[in-house]
């Protein structure tokens, strides 16, 4: 379901007031003296306009763990173990809030990925212990979207501290760059644990193979590791940073209804308006998953191009919408 990464394979919460505001003019124009209820018997919580979006915590683990993880050519990782040592240091420095800020710097503030990547390595104090990579050239690959390019530039800047000469090359989607990792044309790429695990599982065990990914990042990486090894790839340590499907409401909505998690929302509101891509009503990680896992009740689904969903929620056209957990527009400021 993560549109950005599925074509190449998605970025917090809030609180305060209580349920009494459901169905009032302040929550979207309902009549103050009319308490509308959904089939669940819960109040219908209308959309609330607001400039800031917050992601509701996926507290029951609907989404798989798409944590950023280095994928390295196995031969290169064996010959130069310092590659993984440096990239694991990058993973240790990354979390979702920092990834959001990196994406904001590129996608909103219009800095270059190279500039942002270099600044991150400097600010985080990422540095190799020695110059053991001197005289060795590496190529870091990136998918064709800005987050991947920025992460690739971070990998490159970090590896240069070990003395490596590093080039960053934008390749395209996973079908194009993974074979180049396998054959050594690329040394490493930033990857997404759950998506890579299921991609390799389908390649090696058939398109109908049962998913090996879950919301548990450790279990997902444990399943990924032998699959990657069979493909000539060594994976490093996963970061805390996740780019995966997430569901956002306006900060004003979250405060009005005192919700910080999807379970909170299911307990507080019925008859919600959901915004998502056209396939959302049929995808298990979107509307059906919200209904089956959380018992959320939707009165209406509105279809938007992926990039317009957040704006629809901000404008009050929907109460909740599918976003990416690392979207730069989720930045705190």
Judgement on whether residues 113 and 159 belong to the same structural domain of the protein: yes
pLDDT of residue 39: 61
What is the distance between the alpha carbons of residues 329 and 12, in angstroms, rounded to a whole number?
A: 12
User: Cβ neighbours of residue 222 under 8 Å, at least 6 residues apart?
Assistant: none
Task: State both tokens at 139.
Answer: 């190529």
My answer on whether 44 and 73 are in the same domain is no
69's enclosing H/E stretch is strand 68-73
* Residue bearing tokens 């390749």: 171
pLDDT at 52: 97
Predicted pLDDT of residue 41: 83
Residue 13: its pLDDT value, please? 34
- 278 and 214 both lie in a single domain: no
β partners of residue 300: 273
Distance CA 40, CA 266 (A): 10
Res 332: pLDDT:
80
C-alpha Rg value of the chain to the nearest Å: 21
Look at residue 150 in the predicted model and tell me its pLDDT: 98
pLDDT at 3: 45
Output the pLDDT for position 1: 47
Among 159, 165, 162, CA closest to 189: 159
Rounded distance, CA 231 to CA 233, Å? 6
Which pLDDT does position 10 carry in this prediction? 38
- Reduced to 3 states, what is the DSSP secondary structure of residue 127? coil
Q: Give residue 136's Cα distance to chain centre.
A: 33
**Is 86 found in the same domain as 23?**
no
| Residue 112: domain span | 68-235
- Rounded Cα distance between 16 and 6, Å, is 36
257 in the same domain as 156: no
- How many domains would you assign to the chain? 2
Q: What is the CATH number of the domain that holds 282?
A: 3.40.190.120
Judge if 84 and 159 occupy the same domain: yes
Q: Could you say which residues of the chain have pLDDT below 50? A: 1, 3-35
Tokens of 83: 């590659």
């Amino acid at each position: 379901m993560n549109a950005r990464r599925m074509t190449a394979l998605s970025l917090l919460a809030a609180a305060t007031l209580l349920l009494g505001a459901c169905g009032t003019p302040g929550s979207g124009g309902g009549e103050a003296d009319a308490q509308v209820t959904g089939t669940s018997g819960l109040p219908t919580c209308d959309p609330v306009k607001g400039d800031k979006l917050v992601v509701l915590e996926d507290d029951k683990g609907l989404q798989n763990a798409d944590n950023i993880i280095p994928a390295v050519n196995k031969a290169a990782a064996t010959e130069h173990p310092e590659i993984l040592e440096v990239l694991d240091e990058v993973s240790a420095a990354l979390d979702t809030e920092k990834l959001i800020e990196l994406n904001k710097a590129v996608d909103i503030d219009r800095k270059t990925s190279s500039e942002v990547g270099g600044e991150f390595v400097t600010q985080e104090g990422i540095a190799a212990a020695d110059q053991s990579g001197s005289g060795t050239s590496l190529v870091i690959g990136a998918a064709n979207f800005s987050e991947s390019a920025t992460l690739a530039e971070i990998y490159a800047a970090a590896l240069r501290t070990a003395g490596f000469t590093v080039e960053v090359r934008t390749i395209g989607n996973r079908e194009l760059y993974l074979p180049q990792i396998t054959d050594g044309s690329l040394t490493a790429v930033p990857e997404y644990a759950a998506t890579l695990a299921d991609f390799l599982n389908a390649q090696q065990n058939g398109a109908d193979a049962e998913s090996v990914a879950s919301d548990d990042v450790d279990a997902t990486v444990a399943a990924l590791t032998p699959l990657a090894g069979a493909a000539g790839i060594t994976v490093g340590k996963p970061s805390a940073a996740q780019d995966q499907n997430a569901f956002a409401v306006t900060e004003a909505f979250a405060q009005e209804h005192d919700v910080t998690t999807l379970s909170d929302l299911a307990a507080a509101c019925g008859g919600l308006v959901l915004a998502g891509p056209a396939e959302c009503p049929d995808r298990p990680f979107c509307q059906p998953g919200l209904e089956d896992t959380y018992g959320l009740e939707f009165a209406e689904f509105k279809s938007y191009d992926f990039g317009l969903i957040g704006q629809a929620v901000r404008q009050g056209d929907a109460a909740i919408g599918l976003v990416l957990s690392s979207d730069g527009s989720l930045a705190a400021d």
